[in-house]
Amino acid sequence: LQIQAQAQKKIFSETPEQMEKRLSWWVHDRFGMFIHWGLYSLPARHEWIKNYERITDSAYQKYFDNFDPDLYNPREWARMAKAAGMKYAVITTKHHEGFCLFDSKYTDYKATKTLIKKDLVREWVGAFRAEGLKVGFYYSLIDWHHPDFTIDRVHPQRVSDPKEYERINKGRDMEKYRTYLFNQVRELMTNYGKIDMLWTDFSYPGANGKDHNDWNSVELLKMVRKLQPGIIVNDRLDLGEYDDGGDFVTPEQYKVSEWPTRNGKRIHWETCQTFSGSWGYYRDETSWKDNKQLLVLLIETVSKGGNLLLNVGPTSRGLFDARAQERLHGMGEWMKVNGRAIYGCTEAPAGIQRPDNTLLTYNPDTKRLYVHLLDYPLQRIELPGLKGKVKYAQFLHDGSELKMKDTDKGGLAIDVPVRKPDVEIPVIELMLE
Ligand code: JFZ
């Protein structure tokens, strides 16, 4: 009973149908680009470097002084995102280090005060919009630079003695930080036209952590939705006690085993993933995923009803490095001919069984089922339970017919050429009755 009562707590009066409508473009588009860019692209060894290496403000200052992305051309970024098949993008307007890519009235710790002297967010929004992509802002709730943000376990100067916290936090005032946070989010929601998504990051409730009280999350979310009525907001404001305290959940850097649920009901979700482990540009990282892994990640996400937000960490000069470009290009080659198996798709209808070494996606509007061949079969593939249910079958990449035969066991056998077609993951498109 307790759980039921809690589940009915709501902030907004929006109906489930209205919510679905607000989220419909995002559910359809499925694939977006995350961009982590800030001063940490200069040390080029992880966006948490200020914390990991206990770098003081004054020692970190050299990155501010030398920040000069002279090759920054967001139109080029947008074109690469679009060519990769991505339909929306989310950029770090401010990450935990506190540096703002946008021109905020409330701080001098911002791009306009560096050598580049530009509001990088303004140019970014214009460029991505011009290429037809939806735009989203990542905004860090955590701030390792603001003098009023109290220090805790995620602060760079983390200490083991609790007395030490008291000493360091003396004079720091979260009330003042909250005002700053509200002011900046108001600027972002007001000064850049229509914003499609807000990605807040992050709460860590518990002893010596920060929760919805620290951000005044309910009021913050209300302000955001008032200024941008159509916006979609993620779930990191610690508003889990409300049904509508976040539009989608954000499993990060791990594989989701099945469609996430809340009180037994399937919910919207978006997994965010990196190419190599770090979110910020990391020069020497060697753990880059290959194109096939990344495509499997995308297909598997859609096969469980989710979205993929795939991250690029641009260099301090303002470029996507060659390894990132190569992967975006590889995904784009596949998406160009197989995008139909991703956009508007979701989990296959209940009762349709997945053959070994395949993933299934399904478009409920066109009633087309997509069989993604992760490991190419030898001559034929059997689909259990589909006898008499398929009108036509073809390879998606070249639209060439695939012959079907009923099997004795009530399934369907599809003949495929012995040689694997020249496409990373071939897809069979089945037109269902
Ligand atoms: C956060 C950031 O700290 C990180 O730098 C990056 O921006 C990423 C997208 O988000 O990292 C998190 C936040 C929340 C969880 C894990 C990592 N979490 O809830 O498990």
Through-space distance between the first and last CA atoms of the chain, rounded to whole angstroms: 43
The band of 201, judged by pLDDT with boundaries at 50, 70 and 90, is very high
Q: To which H or E segment does residue 57 belong?
A: helix 57-66
In this prediction, residue 97 carries a pLDDT of 97
* Tens digit of each residue's pLDDT (9 = 90 or more) over 410-419: 999 999 999 9
- Is the Cα dihedral 52, 55, 61, 63 positive or negative? negative
Length of the chain: 433
* Tens digit of each residue's pLDDT (9 = 90 or more) over 341-377: 999 999 999 989 999 999 999 999 999 999 999 999 9
Which residue lies with its CA nearest to atom 10 of ligand 1? 201
Q: Please check whether residue 428 is in contact with residue 383, taking contact to mean a CB–CB distance below 8 angstroms.
A: no
Beta bridge partners of 154: none
For residue 202, how far is its CA from the centre of ligand 1 (angstroms)?
Answer: 7
Q: Name the residue type at position 363.
A: N
The band of 2, judged by pLDDT with boundaries at 50, 70 and 90, is very low
DSSP state of 288: P
Q: What are phi and psi of 174, to 5 degrees?
A: -60, -25
* Tens digit of each residue's pLDDT (9 = 90 or more) over 56-85: 999 999 999 999 999 999 999 999 999 999
Q: Is 5 helix (H, G, I), strand (E, B) or coil?
A: helix
Q: Is 91 exposed, middle or buried (0-12, 13-18, 19+ CB in 10 A)?
A: buried
Report whether residue 202 contacts ligand 1, using a CB cutoff of 6 Å: yes
For residue 144, how far is its CA from the centre of ligand 1 (angstroms)?
Answer: 15
Which residue do the tokens 């779930």 mark?
235
Other CB atoms within a 10 A radius of the CB of residue 316 amount to 22
Other CB atoms within a 10 A radius of the CB of residue 23 amount to 15
* CA-wise closest residue to 432 among 382, 365, 332, 340: 365
Which atom of ligand 1 is nearest to 36's Cα?
7
In this prediction, residue 254 carries a pLDDT of 66
In this prediction, residue 90 carries a pLDDT of 99
Q: What angle do CA 264, 270, 274 make, to 5 degrees?
A: 140
Which residue do the tokens 């399904």 mark?
362
ipTM of model: 0.96
- 184 HSE (CA, 13 A, CB side): 32
* Tens digit of each residue's pLDDT (9 = 90 or more) over 220-261: 999 999 999 999 999 999 999 999 999 999 987 667 888 998
| Residues of the chain by 3-state class (helix, strand, coil), percent to 5 | 30, 20, 50
Q: Is 85 helix (H, G, I), strand (E, B) or coil?
A: coil
Which residue do the tokens 């989220």 mark?
23
- 34 HSE (CA, 13 A, CB side): 26
Which atom of ligand 1 is nearest to 272's Cα?
9
For residue 143, how far is its CA from the centre of ligand 1 (angstroms)?
Answer: 14
In this prediction, residue 151 carries a pLDDT of 85
Q: Name the residue type at position 78.
A: A
For residue 358, how far is its CA from the centre of ligand 1 (angstroms)?
Answer: 31
Report whether residue 34 contacts ligand 1, using a CB cutoff of 6 Å: no
CA distance 64 to 66: 6
Beta bridge partners of 35: 91, 312
Q: Is 179 exposed, middle or buried (0-12, 13-18, 19+ CB in 10 A)?
A: middle
CA distance 85 to 92: 21
Structure tokens that stand for 357 in this block: 């070494």
For residue 318, how far is its CA from the centre of ligand 1 (angstroms)?
Answer: 23
Which residue lies with its CA nearest to atom 14 of ligand 1? 202
Q: Is 259 helix (H, G, I), strand (E, B) or coil?
A: coil
Measure the CA dihedral 225/229/235/236, to 10°.
Answer: -40
Q: Name the residue type at position 109.
A: Y
Q: Name the residue type at position 95.
A: H
SS3 for 83-118 is HCCCCEEEEEEECCCCCECCCCCCCCCEHHHCCCCC
Q: Please check whether residue 51 is in contact with residue 145, taking contact to mean a CB–CB distance below 8 angstroms.
A: no
In this prediction, residue 54 carries a pLDDT of 87
Beta bridge partners of 390: 432
In this prediction, residue 3 carries a pLDDT of 44
Structure tokens that stand for 379 in this block: 């001559």
CA distance 262 to 232: 18
Q: Please check whether residue 313 is in contact with residue 279, taking contact to mean a CB–CB distance below 8 angstroms.
A: yes
